[in-house]
Amino acid sequence: MTHTLPKRILFIRPSALGDVCRSVAVVANLKAKWPSARIDWLVQSDLASAIENHPAVDRVIHFDRNAMRKWYTPKAIFKLCSFLNTLRKNNYDLVIDAQGLGRSGLFAFATRAKIRIGPDHAREFGWLGYNQKVQIRSTHTVDQMLELSEALDADSKDDGRLYVGQKDAAWWSAYVSKNKVPSRYLAVCPTSRWRSKQWPIECFVEVAEHLHQKGVGIVVVGAPSEHAQIFPLASLSFTYNLLPEMTIGRLLAVLNNASVVLANDSASLHMAVGLHKPCVGLFGPTDPAKVGPYKQEKSVIAAQVDYNTVHYRDSSIGDSIMRMIQPAEVIMKIDFLLESEH
C-alpha cells in the first residue's frame, strides 16, 4: 500500500484486553519494517501495562475512557477536545486503527496523518476516519490484525510475544518465596464478564482438587472485583487466591511462570498464548476458530454448539452451554500437558 518511510506511527487499539494482547504482532511487524520509526500505541489507561514493556512500542498514549464516558458533559467535551488536539500535535505520518469503531476512527482522523488506514468493516462510521481501507478476509482475529500490517508491505509474522515488567516479575518472585508456592503450578482463570462464557466454579474446584493431590500448586487469578465468582475455589485451603492483589502487569508475571494455564474464553487465555505457555481454553457460545488461542487448536476444549444460533450476550443461556464440558476431559488434557514438561 505504501513504501514511504514514516518517522512517527500511531497504532490505535484501545480495548478490550484480550484484543489488545492479540494485536501486538502488528506493531512488531511495523517495527521490523521501519526500525527507526517511533511507534506509539493508543490504549485505555487501565490496560496500558499489557503492552508498555513491548520493545516495539516506543510510547504509550493513554486514553482515559472513564473521564470521557459522559461525552455530552462540558468537562468530558473539554477533555476529549484536548486529547484530540494532542494527537494532532504529535505529527504522525502513519496511523493504523485496529479497533474499527466510531471512536477509534475519530482518533485516526484527528491526527491529520497523511496515511490513515483501518479495516473496511469498521462499524459506527469509523471508516470515515481513514483515507485507505483494508479489505479484511480472514476468520481468526489475529489473522485479521495481520492483514493490516500486510497492507503496509510489512511482514505478516505472528509474533504475538508479550513481555513482563521487571517490577511485576519481582513482585511475583517475592510472593512465591513468602507463601511457598510450588514451582509447578496451575494458573486458574475462572472468571468471566459474561456468565455464558464461564465454566461452573464447582468444575474448577474438581480440577483443582485432582491436581492438588498430585502436588501441583493452584494459583487463582482474576480482577479484584470478581471475587464473588470464585469464592468456592478461593476458599479451599490449598489454593493461592491472588485476586485482591491482582493487576494486569502482575497477571502477566503469574502466567509467565505457570506450568499450565486453565481459562475460559478470556484475556488471560490470550496472555498465556503471548507468553508461550501451555494452556487449556474452555469455549462455549464463542467460536474458537475466530477467537480461540491462536494456532493452538489442540489447547481448546469446546462444547458442541451451533454458533449460528447462539450468542454469548444472550443472558438466557446462563452457563448451560459451558456445563457441557466435563471436568474429566479437562483433567486429562492438563495431566497430559504436565507430563509433557518432563
Shared domain for 93 and 234, answered yes or no, is no
116 part of a folded domain? yes
User: Do 89 and 199 share a structural domain?
Assistant: no
Asked whether residue 158 is domain-assigned, the answer is no
Does residue 159 lie within any of the structural domains? Answer: no
Tell me if 284 sits within 8 A of 324, measured CB to CB: yes
Please tell me the predicted confidence (pLDDT) of residue 3. Answer: 53
User: Is the peptide bond between 16 and the residue preceding it cis, with omega within 30 degrees of 0?
Assistant: yes
Which of 150, 175, 205 delimits the end of a domain?
Answer: 150
Calculate the dihedral angle through the C-alpha atoms of 12, 14, 18, 21, rounding to the nearest 10 degrees. Answer: 50
Q: For each successive 10 residues of the chain (342 residues), what is the average pLDDT?
A: 81 97 97 97 97 98 86 85 96 98 97 97 96 97 96 92 98 98 98 96 98 98 93 96 97 98 97 98 98 96 96 96 98 96 66
Domain shared by 82 and 182, yes or no: no
132 falls within a domain = yes
pLDDT at 2: 52
Of 150, 183, 201, the residue that ends a domain is 150
Closest to 4 measured CA to CA, from 136, 127, 154 = 154
Same domain, 210 and 100: no
Total residues belonging to the chain: 342
Query: Which of 150, 185, 212 delimits the end of a domain?
Result: 150
- Nearest by Cα to 269 from 293, 246, 248: 293
Domain with residue 320: its CATH number is: 3.40.50.2000
Specify the pairing of strand 279-283 against strand 185-189. Answer: unpaired
Q: What is the pLDDT of residue 4?
A: 73
Domain that holds residue 312: 166-339
Is 332 within a domain?
Answer: yes
- 205 and 321 share one domain: yes
User: What pLDDT score was predicted for residue 164?
Assistant: 98
The verdict on 179 and 126 lying in the same domain is no
State whether 131 and 202 are in the same domain: no
Give the number of domains in the chain: 2
Domain annotation covers residue 48? yes
